[in-house]
Amino acid sequence: MYRAAQLVILDRDGVINRDSDAFIRTASDWRAIDGSLEALALFAENGFNVAVATNQSGLARGHFDLAALSDIHRTMVDAVAAAGGRIDRIVFCPHGPESGCDCRKPAPGMLLQLAQLFGVDLRDVPFIGDSLSDLQAAQAVGARGILVRSGKGGATEKAFGADMGDVEVFDDLLQAARFLVAEIQH
């Protein structure tokens, strides 16, 4: 059984790796954001279990297939492992924005799936993302929404500013990881 305080959930594009309006279509398109691999190593060194929840509408749009997505994720997991970190679980939504599914963020389906897989209540589990849909998914399950300014996060912060409520904001995943690790050490 995993302890909720040890689980952290991350969005992928714009949080761990550079985002692209043209989609991350191949493993060679995947590029870590500066400091993100160090952040994942920091989580591992401090007993966190790391899960990734990512919308991947490029599948529904025909920009890439499941084999390409698997290669992208293998590249990411290998880069994280080489830096001393790990990703314990990756879940993704393969649907487009108009599908009406319950897994595409801001719907909470992927987070609920992770709660079941890890056997935890998501209340106050950190969910780190760079978009409003990430924050809305976190709010829907009572998770702790954290916004990073990397990816689309700076634009999200500008657009919603004071309307984001009690969302914590950090420059990037490394800054957020350092904060969360310091928090459990006290």
| Per-residue pLDDT, 3 | 42
- The C-alpha atoms of residue 172 and residue 10 are separated, in whole angstroms, by 12
Asked if residue 87 lies in contact with residue 77, where contact means CB atoms within 8 angstroms, the answer is: yes
| Per-residue pLDDT, 43 | 97
| Per-residue pLDDT, 5 | 45
Residue for token pair 């914590």: 168
Q: How many residues are listed for the chain in this entry?
A: 186
| Per-residue pLDDT, 116 | 96
Q: Among the options 13, 19, 130, 172, which is catalytic? A: 13
| Per-residue pLDDT, 164 | 74
At residue 123, the 3 state secondary structure works out as coil
| Per-residue pLDDT, 185 | 84
What does pTM read for this prediction? Answer: 0.94
| Per-residue pLDDT, 186 | 74
Can you list the domains of the chain with their CATH numbers?
4-185 (3.40.50.1000)
Which of 59, 50, 116 shows the shortest CA–CA distance to 92? 59
At residue 128, the 3 state secondary structure works out as strand
The secondary structure of 11-45, three-state, reads CCECCCECCCCCCCCCHHHCCECCCHHHHHHHHHH
DSSP 58-113: TTTTTSS-HHHHHHHHHHHHHHHHHTT----EEEEE---TTS--SSSTTSSHHHHH
Residues of the chain with pLDDT under 70: 1-5, 162
- The C-alpha atoms of residue 41 and residue 132 are separated, in whole angstroms, by 26
Element (H, E) at 114: helix 109-118
| Per-residue pLDDT, 149 | 96
- The C-alpha atoms of residue 28 and residue 53 are separated, in whole angstroms, by 21
Q: Is 11 part of the annotated catalytic residue set?
A: yes
Residue for token pair 């989580």: 43
- The C-alpha atoms of residue 142 and residue 124 are separated, in whole angstroms, by 6
| Per-residue pLDDT, 50 | 98
Residue for token pair 């550079």: 18
Q: Is 166 part of the annotated catalytic residue set?
A: no
Q: Among the options 11, 19, 130, 172, which is catalytic? A: 11
| Per-residue pLDDT, 2 | 39
